[in-house]
Structure 1
């Protein structure tokens, strides 16, 4: 499993958070405290959702929630441009990033669902540590002999 910080989706969510933080800094004071702070929180939640999906067993459910949160961010950005809190150019840059995040999350979700449907790659869900592989070849052979005795009789 790759580190979540090495994935393209993490980089995109981080870039979105950075862009939104800069956009909120230039909003009028009466919108900055409520509207802007909530928008920043939602973007940071997307960054954290990437970590959660990378470490979760049920990635598909986490990614589904992430896709819903992306739509909330999209709606907030659209409202910001309609209220003239951000420019159309700034909006287009932010939406390009959210589109990229959405496509990546959708692809990752579909992959996770297919992998989950295919089942575990190891027999009976053994981990490398349980099979002895993490301890070396002798421990692995001993663990495999124990497995054969208990499961193949």
Structure 2
């Protein structure tokens, strides 16, 4: 088992988390303490789910991957709120960069989920 920081999925996860931290730092204080904090907590939760999924096996891994995908969708929703024309907490360019990283992160999580599901269905060749 590789360290979770060495997995391919960690690259977009780290990029997304870093972008969200940068964007949160430039938010007005009243939004930073609510929306920004939620965004960062979901980023941290996604990294935690990634770590737990890497160390788990079988159905438990699948559960952690589902939690990971939920965290990614919550991050995407928070980013959408941040770019809303009424709030304008981040620019469209910032939103595009973060959504690109979130999309890549989500695709890799979905692929990992499918691979795990297939491994659960297929008979084990190891003895």
Gaps of 5+ in 2: none
RMSD, aligned CA? 1.1
Encode CA deviations 1:116-150: one digit per residue, 9 max, x unaligned. Answer: 11133333xxxxxxxxxxxxxxxxxxxxxxxxxxx
The answer for the alignment partner of 1:92 in structure 2 is 96
SS of equivalent to 1:51: helix
How far apart, in 1, do the equivalents of 2:9 and 2:29 lie? Answer: 31
Write the distance in 2 (CA, Å) between the matches of 1:18 and 1:121.
40
Provide the TM-score with structure 2 as the length reference.
0.91
Is 1:101 paired with 2:115? no
Following TM superposition, where does structure 1 have runs of at least 4 consecutive aligned residues deviating by more than 6 angstroms? none
Corresponding position: 1:20 with 2:20: yes
CA contact (8 A) 1:60 1:110 kept: no
Structure 2 partner of 1:77: 79
Q: Secondary structure at the match of 1:33?
A: helix
Q: Which residue of structure 1 lines up, in the alignment, with residue 30 of structure 2?
A: 30
Q: Which of structures 1 and 2 has the larger relative contact order (alpha carbons within 8 angstroms, sep 6+)?
A: 2
* 2:8 corresponds to: 8
SS at match of 1:8: coil
Larger radius of gyration: 1
Cα distance between partner residues in 2 of 1:15 and 1:40: 13
Deviations 1:39-71 (A, max 9, x none): 101011111111111011222221112111111
Give the gaps of 5 or more residues in structure 1.
124-153
**What pairs with 1:44-63 in structure 2 (closer than 5 Å)?**
44-57=44-57, 58-63=60-65
CA contact (8 A) 1:53 1:62 kept: yes
